Amino acid sequence: MYQKLGKTLFGALAAATLFSSAASAETWRAWNIHNDGHPNTAAMDRLAELIGEATSGEVTLEVFHGGVLGSQPDAIEQVRIGAIEVGNFNLGPIGPMVKEANLVSLPFIFKSVPHMFRVLEGEGGEIMAAAMGDAGILPLAWIDAGARSFYAQKPINTPADVEGLKIRVMNNDLYTAMISAMGGNPSPMAFSEVQQALKTGVVDGAENNFPSFKNVGHYEVTTNYSLSEHLIIPECICVNTTKFNALSAEMQEAVRGAAQEAAAYQRELWAVQSEQARKDVEAAGIAVNEIENKAPFQDAMASVYEDYLSANPDMRKLVEIAQSTE
């Protein structure tokens, strides 16, 4: 009798445990635009392992690489509404949806990548993260995307060299203003379409960092990469705010810790692989032009700042924080 009761009790307990873990275990989908060979792809795969381990399988992350879940602006919206849970996003296309994120899209706002991280780790980063979280897209960790420079079929050493060129930019009015201020014709376009557009001459040039320039073959259809380094835009490992807040405090900590560890891994990979990407494209015949004096580019951006800040005076504070950060 005791034994029977014991067995039944055991059975009931086992079923309850099974049921409760089945009910609370979740599978999250993650968006990544990059392919194999890009540091972010390896970091997102690592993130999936780390989340699985840290949450003991309570949260399973399924990563979709190569932008198969949609273009970046679409994927940002999907994460905001919770149709996709996680994304490795560039803050550029987040700016049109979350104004505070636009700080990083002001050309030359950061002096260097370390300066950008110092701003993100201070009050500026807190303000941006809070606004993004309120908009449904909570950053768990910041990652490195180096600096973006122009590439075209000719060197771009001064803003005058951009005059008359059709340049592909990411979706953000600040980038169209940036190209227009140099006399160029901005062409906002999805990342997936850029290689073909360069190849067929639909655009004359584009701008990006070395790993992206290499990874999707833009270097195969261009001749010159000119180190203007006009934008230093961070990226994030972002999660839908509601899904994240629905986790227990313990699970939130586990997921956040996993994201931070994956971000540290990404930054290490970035340092090595962005140098390697530069060497690889040079070996493939790309002329990489150093620009001795970037002041003319910076000066050309004065009207971009003026117009943006007079239309968005509430962004002055963030700009001041960034400019006063050592």
Which residues lie near ligand BDP (CB under 6 A)?
33, 72, 90, 145, 170, 191, 208-209, 212, 235
Question: Minimum CB separation from ligand BDP for residue 71, in Å?
Answer: 8
Select 90 or 102, whichever has its Cβ closest to ligand BDP: 90
10 Å Cβ neighbour count for 12? 10
Question: Minimum CB separation from ligand BDP for residue 191, in Å?
Answer: 3
State whether the Cα torsion 34-37-40-45 is positive or negative.
positive
Cβ-proximal residues to 11 (8 Å cutoff; 6+ apart), any chain: none
Angle, CA of 185, 187 and 188, to the nearest 5°: 145
Q: CA nearest 86: which of 130, 41, 31?
A: 31
Question: Minimum CB separation from ligand BDP for residue 38, in Å?
Answer: 8
Select 209 or 289, whichever has its Cβ closest to ligand BDP: 209
Q: Is 166 left (phi over 0), alpha (psi -120 to 50) or beta?
A: beta
Question: Minimum CB separation from ligand BDP for residue 187, in Å?
Answer: 12
Select 208 or 222, whichever has its Cβ closest to ligand BDP: 208
Select 229 or 235, whichever has its Cβ closest to ligand BDP: 235
Angle between helices 316-324 and 302-311 (to 10 degrees): 140
Question: Minimum CB separation from ligand BDP for residue 197, in Å?
Answer: 12
Question: Minimum CB separation from ligand BDP for residue 324, in Å?
Answer: 28
Select 195 or 252, whichever has its Cβ closest to ligand BDP: 195
Cα–Cα distance between 108 and 148 in angstroms, integer?
10
Question: Minimum CB separation from ligand BDP for residue 33, in Å?
Answer: 5
Question: Minimum CB separation from ligand BDP for residue 67, in Å?
Answer: 8
Question: Minimum CB separation from ligand BDP for residue 116, in Å?
Answer: 14
Select 119 or 189, whichever has its Cβ closest to ligand BDP: 189
Select 38 or 319, whichever has its Cβ closest to ligand BDP: 38
Select 170 or 238, whichever has its Cβ closest to ligand BDP: 170
CA trace torsion 130, 135, 141, 146 (10° rounding): -100
Select 87 or 124, whichever has its Cβ closest to ligand BDP: 87
Using an 8 Å Cβ cutoff, are 181 and 107 in contact? no
